[in-house]
């Protein structure tokens, strides 16, 4: 008798497929794992995949950077794109992301995208001088694909989902030139970056001069990609409910709050999820030991390995504070600097991974030099180390001045590393402060600062330290509360789907 084969359980990620027959084009300048500089890539990698799992016919459009073309499977040319600004022609490629099977269309143009360096800047960090053209072409191609001039006969989107300023001109091109039936959505991931360029670009990008006005894409005499997106899109979303409200105020709207206010009630805030195949302590291949809410012991081994790897004293009891971040004013890590001595005197260690502004990089490097064995600072971008810091640390520090959604605090929750955050944007929507009530009802999952200041950050960390040092049971409960939350894309993908449905 042939032995019965034991089949691995089939992983059903989503309970049901939905009836949604419209085609969606998801346009983004970065998509994980093809290319990433920040959270936008994480969203652009995960959301299309989650929507596809729900049964949505979705394709991504991205510039054909060399790393993108090299990583796509089954890459083939599917048509020529004509009438593009300056470069006239480009080739449209179609491939698949191996892990998710999501289809990606990449714009192949050697002169625009095939360069060393990052998606926005060269190897020295200098922004490409022709970014207006590089992302103007991305925007134009998205619009072409939705209109009568498309080279694709068999796949035309009903919805074009744009993301951030790099795709902001798409709704303008769609409305003003391509005369398309398709609807445009723009998702705002960070209002701080708007893509403003000198007015000469209006003509160069083939945009109508008549729309270079306040009721169009003009912003203080410049061409604003993001304003164009907000002005011409049929729907607007942001990456958290709190941020949807905040961007309608002068403090967070970066000058576009007036325009956003006129569309206030339409702006939909949908909190990002996390990619649970990538960010999951139970299966994370970057860790020497996996762990979970019910088997948390492995986290100790990960902490010990991290301390060893980073040259920190191998002390299981020293509270290890973690940071993985762009080092910019937005992220508020300057507020940690004046507190470092106090925290080190209290027995803490710091593991920081990040890069950004020189002043911040050198300030943290100096502290690391002065405190060997207690402070480790790694300047650069390092995906495996980011997982190890997230998993090995005891608490995650994220005092952002503003944070549209933030992913790292969600990773902190998933990895039993309670986040310490400022109450803004997505941080306010995802981190529940520890107090008597939230301990009792088992919702506490982190610590929230009373205001944005160095003093408030210190007070917040000290509150966390008190629980960590003295109340192990409560600390375990806080970890467990975060780790047992459903942080996946399931819920958010359904909300995006509802937004698409509302446009049909």
* Interacting residues toward ligand ADP by CB under 6 A: 38-39, 42, 324-326, 353-355, 381-383, 386, 405-408
Instruction: Decide whether 28 or 408 has the Cβ nearer to ligand ADP.
Output: 408
Instruction: Decide whether 217 or 279 has the Cβ nearer to ligand ADP.
Output: 279
Q: Minimum distance between the CB of residue 286 and ligand ADP, rounded to whole angstroms?
A: 11
Q: Minimum distance between the CB of residue 480 and ligand ADP, rounded to whole angstroms?
A: 23
| SS3 sequence of 280-305 | CCCCCCCCCCCCCCCCCCHHHHHHHH
Which residues are CB-neighbours of 177 under 8 A, at least 6 positions away?
A: 143, 147, 206, 208
The total of other beta-carbon atoms located within 10 Å of residue 42's CB is 24
Q: Determine the Cα angle at 90 with ends 232 and 181, to 5°.
A: 30
Instruction: Decide whether 330 or 477 has the Cβ nearer to ligand ADP.
Output: 330
- Tell which residue, 72, 98, 180, 84, has the closest CA to residue 134: 84
Q: Minimum distance between the CB of residue 418 and ligand ADP, rounded to whole angstroms?
A: 16
Q: Minimum distance between the CB of residue 328 and ligand ADP, rounded to whole angstroms?
A: 8
Q: Minimum distance between the CB of residue 386 and ligand ADP, rounded to whole angstroms?
A: 4
Instruction: Give me the helices (H) in 62-130, please.
Output: 66-71, 110-113
Which H or E run includes 502? helix 490-503
Instruction: Decide whether 81 or 377 has the Cβ nearer to ligand ADP.
Output: 377
CA dihedral 386, 387, 389, 394 (to 10 degrees): 140
Instruction: Decide whether 92 or 321 has the Cβ nearer to ligand ADP.
Output: 321
Q: Minimum distance between the CB of residue 222 and ligand ADP, rounded to whole angstroms?
A: 24
Instruction: Decide whether 146 or 242 has the Cβ nearer to ligand ADP.
Output: 242
Which residues are CB-neighbours of 156 under 8 A, at least 6 positions away?
A: 23, 145, 146, 150, 182
Q: Minimum distance between the CB of residue 100 and ligand ADP, rounded to whole angstroms?
A: 17
Instruction: Decide whether 31 or 205 has the Cβ nearer to ligand ADP.
Output: 31
Region of 266 (left: φ > 0; alpha: ψ -120 to 50; beta: rest) is alpha
Q: Minimum distance between the CB of residue 405 and ligand ADP, rounded to whole angstroms?
A: 6
CB 107 within 8 A of CB 63: yes
Q: Determine the Cα angle at 203 with ends 132 and 188, to 5°.
A: 40
Burial per residue of 297-311, b for 16 or more beta-carbon CB atoms within 10 angstroms, e otherwise: ebbebbbbbbbebbe
Q: Which residue is nearest to ligand ADP (CB)?
A: 39
Which H or E run includes 47? helix 39-53
Instruction: Decide whether 28 or 109 has the Cβ nearer to ligand ADP.
Output: 28
Instruction: Decide whether 202 or 368 has the Cβ nearer to ligand ADP.
Output: 368
Task: Return the sign of the alpha-carbon dihedral for residues 392, 395, 399, 405.
Answer: positive
Intra-chain end-to-end CA distance of the chain, in Å: 56
Strands 103-108 and 88-96: antiparallel
Instruction: Decide whether 157 or 354 has the Cβ nearer to ligand ADP.
Output: 354
């Amino acid at each position: 008798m042939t032995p019965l084969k034991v089949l691995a359980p089939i992983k059903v990620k989503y309970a049901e497929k939905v009836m949604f027959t419209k085609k969606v084009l998801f346009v983004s300048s970065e998509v994980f794992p093809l290319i990433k500089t920040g959270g936008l890539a994480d969203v652009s990698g995960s959301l299309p995949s989650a929507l596809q799992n729900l049964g949505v016919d979705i394709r991504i459009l991205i510039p054909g950077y060399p790393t993108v073309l090299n990583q796509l499977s089954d890459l083939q040319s599917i048509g020529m794109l004509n009438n593009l600004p300056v470069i006239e022609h480009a080739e449209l490629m179609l491939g698949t992301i191996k892990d998710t099977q999501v289809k990606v269309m990449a714009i192949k143009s050697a002169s625009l995208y095939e360069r060393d360096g990052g998606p926005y800047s060269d190897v020295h960090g200098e922004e490409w001088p022709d970014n207006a053209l590089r992302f103007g072409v991305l925007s134009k191609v998205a619009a072409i694909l939705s209109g009568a001039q498309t080279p694709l006969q068999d796949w035309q989107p009903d919805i074009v989902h744009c993301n951030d300023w790099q795709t902001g001109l798409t709704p303008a091109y769609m409305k003003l030139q391509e005369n398309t039936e398709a609807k445009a959505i723009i998702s705002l991931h960070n209002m701080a970056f708007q893509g403003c360029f000198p007015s000469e670009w209006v003509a160069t990008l083939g945009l109508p001069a008549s729309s270079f006005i306040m009721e169009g894409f003009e912003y203080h005499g410049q061409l604003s990609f993001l304003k164009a997106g907000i002005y011409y899109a049929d729907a607007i979303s942001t990456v958290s409910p709190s941020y949807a409200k905040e961007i309608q105020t002068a403090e967070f709207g970066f000058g576009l709050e007036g325009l956003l206010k006129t569309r206030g009630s339409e702006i939909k805030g949908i909190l990002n999820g996390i990619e649970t195949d990538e960010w999951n302590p139970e299966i994370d291949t970057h860790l020497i030991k996996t762990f979970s809410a019910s088997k948390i012991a492995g986290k100790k081994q990960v902490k010990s390995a991290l301390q060893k790897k980073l040259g920190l004293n191998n002390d299981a009891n020293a509270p290890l504070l973690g940071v993985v971040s762009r080092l910019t004013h937005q992220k508020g890590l300057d507020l940690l600097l004046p507190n470092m001595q106090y925290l080190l005197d209290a027995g803490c260690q710091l593991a920081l991974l990040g890069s950004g502004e020189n002043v911040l990089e050198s300030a943290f490097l100096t502290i690391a030099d002065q405190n060997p064995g207690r402070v480790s600072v790694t300047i650069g971008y390092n995906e495996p180390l980011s997982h190890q810091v997230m998993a090995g640390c005891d608490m995650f520090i994220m005092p952002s001045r503003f944070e549209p959604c933030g992913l790292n605090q969600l990773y902190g929750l998933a990895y039993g590393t309670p986040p310490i955050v400022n109450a803004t944007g997505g941080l306010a929507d995802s981190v529940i402060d520890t107090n008597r009530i939230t301990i009792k009802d088992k919702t506490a999952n982190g610590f929230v600062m009373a205001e944005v200041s160095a003093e408030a950050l210190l007070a917040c960390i000290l509150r966390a330290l008190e629980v960590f040092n003295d109340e192990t049971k409560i600390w375990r409960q806080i970890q467990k509360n975060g780790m047992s939350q459903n942080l996946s894309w399931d819920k958010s993908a359904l909300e995006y789907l509802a937004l698409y449905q509302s446009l049909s």
